[in-house]
Each structure stands twice: as C-alpha cells, then as structure tokens.
Amino acid sequence: MSVEFRLVQWNTHKKVYDLAVTALVLVSIGSIVGVGLAAFPPPGEVSPPILLMRALGATAVIMLHVILAIGPLARLTTLAAPLLYNRRHLGVAFFLIALLHALVATGFYGGFGHGVWLVNVVTGGYRTGGEVPFELLGFLALLIFFAMAATSHDFWLSFLGPRVWKWLHMLVYAGYALVVGHVMLGAAAERATPVWPALLGVGITGLTTLHLAAGLRSLREHQAAEGESNWADAGEAASIPDDRARIVRLPSGDSVAVFRQGDRLTAMSNVCAHQGGPIGEGKIVDGCATCPWHGYQYRPEDGCSPPPYTEKLPTYSVRVRGSRVEISTTPNELGTPSAAGILDGDDHGE
C-alpha cells in the first residue's frame, strides 16, 4: 500500500460522502421550509427566522439518528462499512447545523432587548421557578456535541488516548437524551399535534433495536475453551475462510482475531488501535490484516502496521492440534514476531 494511493482515493470517497451529507441537509431543511411556506401563507405565516430555526433543529435531530444508526449497522453487516468510513464528516456537519439552530434561536428570542442574548434564552428568560428550561437542555447537548466535533480529528485520538477519547464520544448518548428532553419539554409540549412524540418514538425504537441486535451478535462470538496450560481452543482451523478471521473470546475476556492465510494461522487483538474497530471482521489485504472500519493495517506476523505507519497490536501465539487451532491465553510482547500455526497439507481449503 502506498501513501499516495491512500490519499487520492480517500479524497474521492470523502467527496461522495460529503455530497450525500449535503443532500440530506438540503432535503430535510428544504422539505420543512417548503411545506412550511406552502401550508402557512400570509397573513397566517410562521416568521421566517422561526421556520428556519425549526428546520435546522429538526434537521439536526434527523442527522443525529443517522449518526447513531451507523455504528450498530456496521456491526450487523460489513456492507455498511462505507457509511462508517467518514462518519466524522457527518458528525461535524451535524454539529454545525445544531449550532446554527441555537444561534438563530438565541439571536431571535434572546436578542433585541436587555441582557446577553445567549443567557436570556438558555435560562428560559431568567425564569426563577418551575421545570428546567427546555432551552438549557439543548444548550448542554450542544456543549457535548461541540466537545465531540472539536476532538473528532485523529490528532485528538492519539493526544487523549483511545480510552478517554472513546469515553468522550460515548457521551453522544447523553447528548441524545438531552435533545429528546429539549424537544419533549419544548416543541412537543407546545404543539397541538403529537408529531414530535411520534417521530421520536420511532427513532428511539429503531435505534434501540439496532443496538440490541448488534449487541446480540457480539454475544454469539466463539468462546475459547480453556485448554492445557496457557493454550485455549479456538475451533476448527479449516472452517476459517481464507484471508479472513474468526473472532475468539479468551477466558480472560480479551477478544482475539484468528486469521487464516492458506495454511498459516495467526492471531492478534481484535481491537483496532485506531478507534477500536473489529479487526476480525476485516480481511487480509496486501498481506496485512485490514480493519473494516477505516482500513488500518497490521502485519499478521508481528501485529505492526507497515511503514510509514506505527500502530501496533498485541499478537497471540498459534498452534495447530489435529484439525483444531489453539491460541496462547496471554498476548506476546508488543511488536515482537509471533509463532504461526501451520495446517497440514490436506486439512485446509474449502
């Protein structure tokens, strides 16, 4: 794999992805503004800034659902991998739309008077009693989305470390809950028709179903039986498809990807060093195990990314006992060559 090739193709894919994101934004805002103008002609019109604010808020909510659906979808089918590949762009676009919504809302409802426009609105107009102002929930959600958008670049991933970064990005679910509260206490409580509860009900049900289905799937992983000292059984060697892997869960809880390339069997951590993607759902491309999420690559023999990249994954020693493959229960030292298991001549192939 050459660096140059990677850059050029990445750009094409990025362009197509950004076009799709733009189409989503245009269709969503366009349908709301279009129908809003047509269904409410003057003198019964909705003020243009309010119509725009509503269109932006609703578009942000729609985008948030798409963002949250892509993760579990990609775990259910690798066909969804292209949707995941540049999800960051969708995330940043979503944040900008939500920010615009907040700017129009705070500017229009909080401006033109005493005080600071942002504070005027976020405090619900300095309300001193009663329930939490719905605007405050939107503001807190926006803060979370800002933190995520600002740290979406891989620089922050390596700067913060995968743990903190992952934790930060799990906050998206808290943000989602805040947005649901923002809409339910605000627009939904005001409107005469339950269009928002209905739409959010569909959204929450859909997302929950997808996440449950994806979770069930990872429960179906092969559980490695504890074998003799430090070796665990990882199933039939020959039933691992060529250039593919089987994901095996060790008694220690570690998830391991056992790859087969012809008669060679190797094992490495199933957790990608980039964003924790499932290496074992990937494939051997150009001799390297390739992550299905963003294509990071690792050499099966030592778990290192090919130069100029420097990522390393722990590997596990592999041996073949009859037709079964066994892996060591503890990982090898990072970056060191690892023992491969070799299948006998007629044991492999489909």
Partner 1 sequence: MANDHDDFYVGYLPTPSAHRRFSKVALVAVLLCAGIAGAGIAWLMDDPGRGVWATETSELTGTLRLSPVAFLQTAAGPVLLVEPGKFGARDLEPIGDGSPVTVRGTTLERDGHRMIELTSGDDAVTRVGTAPTSITETEAARRVVIEGEIIDTKCYLGAMKPGEGRTHAACARLCIRGGIPAGVVGTADGRQIWAIIDPGEDGVISETMLNAVGKPVHIEGELTSRAGLAILRDARLHAGD
Query: Can you give the binding site for ligand FES, defined by CB under 6 A?
Result: 272, 274-277, 291, 293-296
CB atoms within 10 A of CB 160: 14
| Residue type at 232 in one-letter notation | A
Name the segment binding partner 1 (CB under 8 A); options: 81-89, 146-154, 228-236, 333-341. 81-89
Q: Site for ligand HEM (CB under 6 A): which residue of 17, 85, 139, 231?
A: 139
Residues 40 and 45: their CA atoms lie apart, in Å, by: 5
Query: Which among partner 1, ligand FES, ligand HEM, none contacts residue 139 (Cβ within 5 to 8 A by kind)?
Result: ligand HEM
Q: Which CB atom, from 9 or from 230, has the smaller least distance to partner 1?
A: 9
254 phi, psi to nearest 5 deg:
-65, 140
CB atoms within 10 A of CB 205: 10
| Residue type at 258 in one-letter notation | V
Coil, strand or helix at 327: strand
- Residue 101 contacts ligand HEM per CB under 6 A: yes
Q: Site for partner 1 (CB under 8 A): which residue of 75, 88, 274, 294?
A: 294
List the interface residues with partner 1, window 270-289 (CB under 8 A): 282-286
Q: Site for ligand HEM (CB under 6 A): which residue of 138, 235, 292, 295?
A: 138
Q: Looking at the DSSP assignment, which residues form a beta bridge with residue 266?
A: 259
Query: Which among ligand HEM, partner 1, ligand FES, none contacts residue 28 (Cβ within 5 to 8 A by kind)?
Result: partner 1
Helices (H) and strands (E) in the chain, counts: 10, 13
List the interface residues with ligand HEM, window 154-193 (CB under 6 A): 179, 182-183, 186-187
Q: Site for ligand HEM (CB under 6 A): which residue of 10, 109, 146, 309?
A: 109
Query: Which among ligand FES, ligand HEM, partner 1, none contacts residue 342 (Cβ within 5 to 8 A by kind)?
Result: none
Q: Looking at the DSSP assignment, which residues form a beta bridge with residue 260?
A: 244, 265
Q: Which CB atom, from 53 or from 272, has the smaller least distance to ligand FES?
A: 272
CB neighbour list of residue 228: distance below 8 Å, 6 or more residues apart: none
Q: Which CB atom, from 235 or from 277, has the smaller least distance to ligand FES?
A: 277
Chain-centroid distance of CA 281 in Å reads: 16
Letters for 50-79 (x = contact with ligand HEM by CB under 6 A, - = none) are x--xx--xx-xx--x---------------
- Residue 288 contacts ligand HEM per CB under 6 A: no
- Residue 149 contacts ligand HEM per CB under 6 A: no
Q: Site for partner 1 (CB under 8 A): which residue of 30, 201, 262, 349?
A: 30
Q: Supply angle C-alpha 35, 101, 42, rounded to 5.
A: 35
Q: Site for ligand HEM (CB under 6 A): which residue of 28, 86, 106, 275?
A: 106
- Residue 147 contacts ligand HEM per CB under 6 A: no
Residues 259 and 267: their CA atoms lie apart, in Å, by: 6
Q: Site for partner 1 (CB under 8 A): which residue of 92, 99, 118, 125?
A: 125
Continuous segment of H or E residues that includes residue 267: strand 264-269
Q: Looking at the DSSP assignment, which residues form a beta bridge with residue 232?
A: 226, 327
Pairing of strands 244-249, 222-223: parallel
- What minimum distance in Å lies between the beta carbon of 103 and partner 1? 15
Continuous segment of H or E residues that includes residue 268: strand 264-269
